[in-house]
Amino acid sequence: MLSLSLEGKVALISGGSRGIGAETVRLFREAGAKVVFNYRETREHALALVEECGGSADCVALQQDLSHAENGRSLVAAAVGIFGRLDTLVVNHGIWPPQDAPIATMSSEQWDRTMGVNLESVFGLVQAAVGQFQHQRTTGQSGAASHIVLISSTAGQRGEAFHADYAVTKGAIISFTKSLSSELAGEGIYINCVAPGWVRTEMSQTALNDPRTRARILSTIPLGRVATAREVAAPVLFLCTPHAGFISGEVLNVNGGAVLVG
């Protein structure tokens, strides 16, 4: 039987208490990894997920805001402190301000907040994780490979009117993926990106509940529906296994055929 196993691995998944992040936590635990994930406010969701995934011996939830680079560095340090090492980082957290904001009137506060959560903290997470991977390699603690998967969006490829702040950050994530892969693949550090389209999560529910908005969204998706969170989490898992051993710097589109670019 074919197995996507992560036995013996330690993964840090940001934004892991709900939506795509929670499904990623579940799948990584099903694959045998020990998992640390963070949450910002949803403590009840986070603790319930820990119990669902076998308890704190193998799955740990940490309350950590991610809006600055130092927050990301602190989260990596905490994860390493819990399980002693790190093999995989999945950068899943992010915000999408749901109200339309024309660029002529978008507030500096919204722009800065989106940049902080969706980019600055990502820099801190990645920087600290790469440093940990390199330390493990130089001290003989590293396995065959280390993995980082960044979550982008179709908005990072084709833009999104009235949500330029979000689209800019997700486009930067794609460029970050390709730059990091060119820099780090030779060290056995695999960097890839998953770019979802519309996914049924709490973040998207307001838009999907509006009949006119939902109809417009579905008209752009050849498969005629939005994704489930698990349909995004599964490709993330795949990219962190030996079955993806010759994939680095890739943008994997999970969008029902909506954006056919990489």
* Residue 262 clears pLDDT 50, i.e. is over it: no
Q: pLDDT tens, 134-172?
A: 999 999 887 779 999 999 998 999 899 999 999 999 999
Instruction: Give the residue-averaged pLDDT of 7-34.
Output: 96
**CA–CA separation, 256 and 198 (whole Å):** 9
Those residues whose C-beta lies under 8 Å from the C-beta of residue 33, and which sit 6 or more positions away, are 6, 7, 9, 10, 11, 87, 88
**CA–CA separation, 36 and 101 (whole Å):** 34
pLDDT at position 260 = 61
* Residue 195 clears pLDDT 90, i.e. is over it: yes
**Out of 37, 39, 133, 166, which one is annotated catalytic?**
166
* Structure tokens, 183: 């820099």
State how far the alpha carbon of 11 is from the alpha carbons of 60, 61, 132, 155, in Å: 11, 12, 12, 27
* Residue 217 clears pLDDT 80, i.e. is over it: no
**CA–CA separation, 162 and 97 (whole Å):** 10
* Residue 197 clears pLDDT 70, i.e. is over it: yes
Total Cβ atoms within 10 A of residue 216: 11
* Residue 57 clears pLDDT 70, i.e. is over it: yes
Active site annotation includes 39? no
Range with the poorest average pLDDT among 3-7, 57-61, 231-235 = 3-7
pLDDT at position 220 = 83
pLDDT at position 151 = 97
Average pLDDT, the chain: 93
Instruction: Give the residue-averaged pLDDT of 232-260.
Output: 93
Instruction: Give the residue-averaged pLDDT of 44-61.
Output: 96
CATH topology of domain 10-254: Rossmann fold (3.40.50)
